A and B are shown apart, each in its own frame.
Chain A
Amino acid sequence: MTTVAKVTGGGEGTDSPYALSHLDALESEAVHIFREVAGEFENPVILFSGGKDSIVMLHLALKAFAPAAVPFSLLHVDTGHNFPEVLEYRDRVVAAHGLRLHVASVQEYIDRGVLRERPDGTRNPLQTLPLTEKIQSERFDAVFGGGRRDEEKARAKERVFSLRDEFSQWDPRRQRPELWNLYNGRHAPGEHVRVFPLSNWTELDVWQYIAREGIDLPEIYFAHEREVFSRSGMWLTAGEWGGPKDTEPVQTRLVRYRTVGDMSCTGAVDSDATTLEAVITEIAASRLTERGATRADDKLSEAAMEDRKREGYF
């Protein structure tokens, strides 16, 4: 039970008892966004990669509609190069909460000859077509993504409700201004809206929230011994997906992941952080952004993310 002392109206350096903590404010905002979508859309879906941001999204959705079930299904874009620990986590969560899971498979598109493997083996850019076609075939009208504005400068320009045309394309010059907390979800048939409930969260906020709420994560987020090799200044996991080449020696290192994506382009960082507390301390002291440290796909060009977003990427 909450009891509130007399309201003092703040004052120099002291916030009133009615001021929310930053995590409470961000949580309340995200819950508000989930509920707006539930109220205004017919067929929303949560993009669920098994990464920490999508895990936090699902946690917020569970809280937003409790004690009822989450009124959305999940969609996983399976690159075919997933970390086994993450797939195992995904299936466990889906079963635990009685959720419905859709899978869009990059491998299936490659097997059918619709998509072709890139010379560098990176499959992240290949996710766009299976994602877009799944959105069309299942008639999803709202698609939740875990993107945060602090991740990358093209994402810093993204709206909370982001309109996409029937080809899932993003046009940053035609975005709707977002005023107060009045989101505009109007869209034509065939169009859909990408919704980003974590827009205003930073990486540190996500980790602090995971710690506060006691949210279970895949083990690869914590320091563990792993066979890795160095490519483009990152530690990549050795595996069937195509690495390493002969010139890339494999070694065993103590590492953890800051982001979870396709194995071919998600790098591990050297770390001895085996607990949430240690991870948070490490991030608070880090002088690199998480994408800068661990994502090869964003290093392709200065506008790599913007280009992929325009084409319909998350």
Chain B
Amino acid sequence: MSTITTEALSATTLLRFATAGSVDDGKSTLVGRLLHDSKSVLVDQLEAVERASASRGQEAPDLALLTDGLRAEREQGITIDVAYRYFATPRRRFILADTPGHVQYTRNMVTGASTAELTVVLVDARNGVVEQTRRHAAIAALLRVPHVVLAVNKMDLVGYEERVFAAIAEEFTAYATELGVPEVTAIPISALAGDNVVDASARMDWYGGPTVLEHLETVPVSHDLAHCHARLPVQYVIRPQTAELPDYRGYAGQIAAGTFRVGEEVTVLPSGRTSTIAGIDLLGEPVDVAWTTQSVTVLLADDVDVSRGDLIVPSKDAPATTQDVEATVCHVADQPLTVGHRVLLKHGTRTVKAIVKDIPSRLTLADLSLHPHPGTLAANDIGRVKIRTAEPLPADSYADSRRTGSFILIDPGDGTTLSAGMVGESFAAPEPVTDGDDDGWDF
């Protein structure tokens, strides 16, 4: 009980991360160990897992039951959906998106990775980099997850040998770098034995890097914002219209990227009208400067027409607006996406009518081969699309801004979320390989 000190009560930063890997790679064991060794599994939860495991004749508690929340999942022994887990150390708070390894695999990993600042990719040291590993790397690259951890697991089964680890780390890092992953940290672990997960391993003294938890605790959670394009999607116009504040008009939103300062010249898109920031209200506190991902209310010096769906940007750094969006999408719905499909496109706080003009190619993640003109995208497919929107959109390239370069497509009929879209090129260095063979697609 005394493991939690007063440090746990003070303010810390928050890291959102995702795990990728199949049950066979030891993902459940790794997640279970992170939760268990950081004292985040509470007694009644553990007792419930022990009861359920025993009633099924399992000798050891099955930690996967901690995250399998639905009756169907427990009955069928599968994970249907992304499960979110929460744990904390004295240094940081963590939100873990635990994505299943098989059912709706791509969709779930894309969902988990979309908000993650770090992805842990697990491989089995005996098997090395396999097709699924390449898919994991490709999704992390596609979603522009800033930090990737390669956890080479089951080192106990390869005699804790450095050369086994080094060869896998080298192969994976080369592949991920080629895809444009900015940072790979490779860590040799044994989730089962506990090597290098929370505590440093005594059996791999040749490894001088951090354990998984140490790395999670210290990886930077914000970027160099000075070089980001500042973007504020307007969510809501605050107008008290009271006797004390008859003329107050505040533009409320969460800063999607970069920083804003009082006195800055800004442009409102898509109208293109300009003004100056007269004040920034940070939830009740006036500030001179605010940055992503703060929720703020901005006051402008001039009485310009601003409403929900508009984007406030620095006048010197405004994105171009376009009605023709080229993007990579991951299709997440059971109903297919087809050429000619009329959809709604939600970008930031703006939802516009749109039509799918073309689907130039579909991507096979495992080898990055392109299948030209597939006509439709089915659930879990990733493909290039050309979309015409009814109104101009101030979209950034996803490579420049994950928040203002992303969008979702919605079915106007039943409201289904159809696809997750990323504006611009998919990878840093795409090597298009034309491959007419469709058989490699096995999700």
Contact = CB atoms under 8 A, between A and B. Distances in A.
Interface of A: 1-4, 7, 9-13, 15-16, 18-29, 31-32, 35-36, 38-39, 63-69, 149-150, 152-157, 163, 172-173, 175-182, 184, 186-188, 199-200, 202, 204-205, 208, 280-281, 284-289, 292-293, 302-303, 306
A69 B282 contact: no
Nearest to A288: B44
Q: Which 6 A-B pairs have the closest CB atoms?
A: A10-B220, A186-B415, A292-B44, A153-B69, A22-B14, A31-B295
Interface in B16-69: 42-45, 48, 52, 66-69
28 contacts: A13-B91, A13-B218, A15-B222, A16-B220, A18-B222, A18-B225, A21-B11, A22-B11, A22-B13, A26-B14, A31-B254, A39-B308, A67-B242, A67-B245, A68-B238, A149-B86, A153-B66, A155-B69, A156-B83, A176-B416, A179-B406, A182-B407, A286-B42, A288-B42, A288-B43, A288-B44, A292-B48, A302-B48
B395 interface: no
A27 B287 contact: no
A157 B222 contact: no
Interface residues of B, number: 95
A195 to B, nearest CB: 14
B245 to A, nearest CB: 6
B337 interface: no
Contacts of A178: 111
Interface of B: 1-2, 4, 6, 8-9, 11-14, 42-45, 48, 52, 66-72, 74, 80-86, 88, 91-93, 95, 107-108, 110-111, 114-115, 217-218, 220-226, 235-236, 238-242, 245, 248, 252-254, 259, 281-284, 286-295, 308, 332, 344, 346-347, 349, 402-403, 406-408, 410, 414-417, 420
Most chain B Cβ neighbours within 10 Å, of A2, A172, A200: A2
Contact of A172 (B6, B80, B408): B80
Nearest to B255: A28
Given A35-B252, A149-B86, A182-B407, A306 B71 contact: yes
Given A1-B287, A18-B291, A154 B93 contact: no
Given A16-B224, A22-B11, 16 more contacts: A3-B288, A9-B223, A20-B13, A25-B293, A35-B254, A66-B283, A67-B242, A68-B238, A150-B86, A172-B70, A179-B111, A182-B347, A182-B406, A204-B8, A302-B74, A306-B69
A293 B95 CA distance: 23
A163 B2 CA distance: 42
Given A20-B293, A172-B80, A67 B248 contact: yes
B45 A22 contact: no
Given A35-B235, A67-B238, A177-B420, A292 B45 contact: yes
A1 B288 contact: yes
Contacts of B284: 63, 66
Contacts of A188: 414-415
Q: Is the interface of B mostly helix, strand, loop or mixed?
A: mixed
Nearest to A8: B224
B279 to A, nearest CB: 12
B70 A154 contact: yes
B52 A35 contact: no
B220 A7 contact: no
Nearest to A148: B86
Contacts of A4: 289
A111 to B, nearest CB: 34
Given A28-B294, A177-B332, A157 B81 contact: yes
B408 A184 contact: yes
B238 A179 contact: no
Nearest to B348: A182
Contact of A180 (B2, B82, B403): B403
B246 to A, nearest CB: 12
A155 B85 CA distance: 11
A274 to B, nearest CB: 17
A7 B227 CA distance: 11
Nearest to A155: B69
Contact of A156 (B67, B221, B226, B286): B67
Contacts of B292: 18
A134 B223 CA distance: 47
A292 B309 CA distance: 43
A302 B295 CA distance: 38
Given A18-B222, A31-B295, A284-B4, A36 B235 contact: yes
B221 A15 contact: yes
B282 A39 contact: no
A23 B86 CA distance: 14
Contacts of B283: 27-28, 31, 63-64, 66
Given A67-B248, A179-B114, A11 B86 contact: no
A290 B209 CA distance: 38
Contacts of B415: 163, 184, 186-188
Contacts of B241: 68
A294 to B, nearest CB: 11
Contact of B9 (A7, A67, A175, A284): A284
Contact of A179 (B9, B48, B222, B420): B420
B44 A289 contact: yes
Given A16-B222, A149-B86, A181 B115 contact: yes
Nearest to B419: A179
B286 to A, nearest CB: 7
A2 B288 contact: yes
B67 A153 contact: yes
